[in-house]
Structure 1
Amino acid sequence: MTGCDLLGDASDQHAAFRAETATALVALAERENEGCFLRSLARAIEKQPM
């Protein structure tokens, strides 16, 4: 489990974290290029409600 997974799980359980988590995940996506990290990032973003 990576930090992205933890952020995704936390925001999934606590609505108060969702906006900040989504912003942080998008910022990370702009500068990361490692495959396993990006997969974790995608899973975390998927957990964000629309």
Structure 2
Amino acid sequence: MSMQQMRHTGGVEICDRHAHLPSTEKIKYFLTFEIEGKIAGFIFG
């Protein structure tokens, strides 16, 4: 499994874990993971 796939799965899990939060909060968490994933992909890629 690639780093990006792991990050993506992590982002989805975070969204599930924070399902009680408002949509905007979930989007913020998800975007944070997406951005981190892209940075990690850039550094390790």
TM-score (norm 2): 0.45
User: Is the radius of gyration larger for structure 1 or structure 2?
Assistant: 2
